[in-house]
Structure 1
């Protein structure tokens, strides 16, 4: 049997360790470089009035923040869907950052600054165009019969599809989250809302059995509420929010933030 000398054995261990570190760094880099895939669901039903000053200002500012924070690099994507009777088929806008930064490899400090400045100018120009399109969709009215139903469940296959891309998925619901669809196996929170958290949890866990087919992964989910802080619990039912928090927890351990 052939044995390595202590010195050679040590060198082999060092090489293996450095190789392992390189692989870990590469894996980390791959995760860090994953594009951001933003899904915006805008409620276009009768119960949400974006013409109200408070709602319009809050929604405009939040959309501006989303554009600024989520659309930073080539490949970052944003899609808008309208929430109404046919949510999953109601894609209203699809945007993707195409501005690309020149390679900084081997450049001096002056050229590096020039490349960075040119990239930011081009990026901001592109985002400005996108933001105008986004705000136009916010103010677009839905006067058709589809505004009588609110199918939020239908957003789940859309989220699952986005998750298949391998991107960092961020989901925003600009909605009162009042699911309202007719049918024996559906929820209509306008007619029968949950009256306490226990009832909300029971409903969410029952609905999970119908919806668990959608592998939504681990998106970041935010509800952008149209209600002012002074709204009554009758208007802004906290148990409806608890229903969604429970459902997303059941679907993938996803925590829901509310703005």
Structure 2
């Protein structure tokens, strides 16, 4: 009868080979697929900071006391904060749009909630740290939301409410672009530029008659406005118009003008809501 002998050496080699194979797989997973080791939904120290700009229209043409406008803009504020306030170092500025937009900063906020370093922590300590961070961030988001909503409903009864200078938001965006953060811009406005004077646009008196003219005007205006290096921010125009608004009230050619102008200046995603 053939006898079989147990070989400690062979089994040890097999065990070591198994460990090496698993180590190689783990290294490959971590190196090529970072998602294997962490959830993309959780902020980490390697996330790029976000700089959010909210421009609130404080001219006579936008009434935030109207139920539809108030509801839409409050929901938008909630979404902005939820999606862009994620970690320490994220920033949010609120500016008023009126005759003196570039000097109308109403809020300047920097997120302070910080996730402690858990790279060497046990699973239990890691979970505790994440829970604590979520609580701190949730509390800070609520405070930021309250402050932004206070500015949303603030009334502008001064003479600056007679003109809407949206062009003046461009140097603000250009300045923020210098921070190196990912820039998100939100206009809570009807986007009716109305500034009197040579070389300016007054869409209340003379809006573009169609998309072709809107594109023509935007490309011409972009030549002088390219002095502002706005980078490639994501821009969202949140209009106050109800779904049944007329063309006279919600002129699609005006929206076309801004989409073309922002694109000509280098913006990334430009959308209307």
**TM value normalised by structure 1:** 0.87
The Cα offsets for residues 86-119 of structure 1, whole Å up to 9 and x where unpaired, read as 0000000011110111111121111111100000
1:89 aligns with 2:103: yes
5+ residue gaps in structure 1?
1-17
1:255 aligns with 2:269: yes
User: Structure 1 residue 31: deviation in Å?
Assistant: 11
User: Structure 1 residue 32: deviation in Å?
Assistant: 5.7
C-alpha separation between the residues in 2 aligned to 1:129 and 1:246?
Answer: 36
1:116 aligns with 2:130: yes
Aligned residue runs from structure 1 range 1-259, under 5 A: 33-259=47-273
C-alpha separation between the residues in 2 aligned to 1:86 and 1:142?
Answer: 12
The Cα offsets for residues 224-247 of structure 1, whole Å up to 9 and x where unpaired, read as 010011111111000000000110
The Cα offsets for residues 15-59 of structure 1, whole Å up to 9 and x where unpaired, read as xxx9xxx8xx9xxxx996220000000000000000000000000
Misfit runs of 4+, over 4 Å: none
Based on CA coordinates, which of the two structures has the bigger radius of gyration? 2
User: Structure 1 residue 184: deviation in Å?
Assistant: 1.2
User: Structure 1 residue 161: deviation in Å?
Assistant: 0.7
- Maintained 8 Å contact 2:58/2:96: yes
CA RMSD of aligned residues (A): 1.8
**TM value normalised by structure 2:** 0.83
C-alpha separation between the residues in 1 aligned to 2:248 and 2:159?
Answer: 26
- Maintained 8 Å contact 1:34/1:166: no
